[in-house]
Structure 1
């Protein structure tokens, strides 16, 4: 097949313990999935329906590459999150069916231009420019679910310049992974290669040029990087 311009490269993530890479199809994210984070954002925790948004696949940053400070903001914020990688897809799934889609796990940052998000909220505008910008999704190498499975007591943490900024257990999530995937499958047909950022605990805050960050999903994934 001949294209008018060269097709874009496939975004991908490394896999722990192997040379193969995981191709990224779509990046879905969920907002306000930890009650303490919802409170710090000034909104009530809601178990009726998860709030989803997305980032482009090529927003992924991997392999320890430096993250450039984005344009058009003075308020770049970190949000550490468990990332779920799908090895199969489906639509209109039950939570039990959805749990079988998971191929692996990682840890990532949902980087946010908070000032643009606040302005969009005030005007009842969409958040795309605040969430879906270039390099807005640093993600660790993925660990296959066949090797390790996070439990409710698994801890997710973020340090910035060696200062602990965010930390919580996964059982503090309002919706667990099968529930999130079930709800998401009723809005989109999920497919292999999709990523889901599962929400962030309290403690979101600013990142500056020169800051280093270290994120961990306890015993499963680690992510190190720098804002430049």
Structure 2
């Protein structure tokens, strides 16, 4: 089934069930008011949502209405946790090569992961509002999973069964703020503003054969100012699958239902597939020519991130945003 959250003036919005073709939706009233409420009691709530999904897809739901992504919040407008991995080690390797730095062998064996802000996610068509272009504004196209409860020490095999939903992410980065922050030795903070999500979160069973081995095997498209700049396959070159990322996260802690874990920037070794963030393009330029020439995003730039199935149909709907200057 496919789920979304309608803007209704509240912090957490109203839970919607969305048709498979993303054309119609139905309020999940009487079942669960919000997505977090559904995740908190998934075993009881999910079958009821699935029944409504079946009715909606068969054209038998009582009160369907047109699905409008611009009226949606992030599927989880705020979450108990947002942790982002770096499962595509090719991306990390390119960054290190561009800096002429050796990459530790451990990066191929133990995932990198940071904990980001989860109190204020952006919806699929919300503007990316920032104060300065000079901060080095960059998009990052990613896949993410939303979890059920995971106990400390959960294995990858156990974690696989606690993946409730998949989502698409734009993990916006401010590249020119990152070096000074990381130099402090305490990780990202100001260099990672609000993260954006596609309108619809999808249960794994909706993905068919594209969901296998704990990975989503479909191309992830990024269009910057209307130009296709990348469509790497999210299943190819993913060194750590989602169950492994989840097991890494809960090594020393419990992880609660509604936590979101990202894949990191989707990246393929085949450079002809393009890029999912500007930083990777700049790294390739530095490796080839000794200097980066592609600039970061400017106010007025647009970014569209979307995943299409084998029939060319949108799976999650699109992230479609404009970068705008904050008004003081």
Q: CA 1:123–1:87 in 2, change beyond 3 Å: closer, same or farther? A: closer
Q: CA 1:125–1:192 in 2, change beyond 3 Å: closer, same or farther? A: closer
Aligned counterparts of 2:266 and 2:155: Cα–Cα separation in 1: 26
Contact 1:30 1:52 in 2 (8 A): yes
Query: In the alignment, what sits opposite 2:27?
Result: 19
Q: CA 1:201–1:190 in 2, change beyond 3 Å: closer, same or farther? A: same
Contact 1:88 1:102 in 2 (8 A): no
Query: In the alignment, what sits opposite 1:199?
Result: 264
The reply to whether residue 213 of structure 1 matches residue 297 of structure 2 is no
| Alignment partner of 1:144 out of 198, 203, 218 | 203
Q: CA 1:91–1:69 in 2, change beyond 3 Å: closer, same or farther? A: same
What does residue range 1-228 of structure 1 map to in structure 2 within 5 Å?
9-10=11-12, 16-17=18-19, 18-20=26-28, 21-23=34-36, 24-31=79-86, 33-42=87-96, 44=103, 46-71=107-132, 73-131=134-192, 133=193, 136-140=194-198, 141-148=200-207, 150-151=210-211, 153-169=217-233, 170-202=235-267, 203=275, 204-205=277-278, 206-219=296-309, 220-221=315-316, 222-228=318-324
| Deviation at residue 212 of structure 1 after TM alignment | 1.5
TM-score (norm 2): 0.59
Query: What secondary structure, in the 3-state scheme, does the structure 2 residue paired with 1:168 have?
Result: coil
**Greater displacement, 11-20 / 34-43:** 11-20
Structure with the higher fraction of residues in strand conformation: 1
**Greater displacement, 168-177 / 142-151:** 142-151
TM-score (norm 1): 0.83
Query: What secondary structure, in the 3-state scheme, does the structure 1 residue paired with 2:252 have?
Result: coil
Aligned counterparts of 2:263 and 2:224: Cα–Cα separation in 1: 20
Query: What secondary structure, in the 3-state scheme, does the structure 1 residue paired with 2:264 have?
Result: coil
CA displacement 1:65-89 (0-9 Å, x = unmatched) = 2221255952011111001111333
Q: CA 1:90–1:16 in 2, change beyond 3 Å: closer, same or farther? A: farther
**Which structure is larger by alpha-carbon Rg, 1 or 2?**
2
RMSD, matched Cα: 2.6
Aligned counterparts of 2:16 and 2:115: Cα–Cα separation in 1: 21
Higher relative contact order (CA 8 A, sep 6+): 1
Stretches of structure 2 that go unaligned for 5 or more consecutive residues are 1-9, 20-25, 29-33, 37-78, 98-102, 268-274, 279-295, 310-314
Query: In the alignment, what sits opposite 1:4?
Result: none
Query: In the alignment, what sits opposite 2:31?
Result: none
**Greater displacement, 56-65 / 122-131:** 122-131
Stretches of structure 1 that go unaligned for 5 or more consecutive residues are 1-7
Query: What secondary structure, in the 3-state scheme, does the structure 1 residue paired with 2:190 have?
Result: helix
Structure with the higher fraction of residues in helix conformation: 2
Contact 1:213 1:224 in 2 (8 A): yes
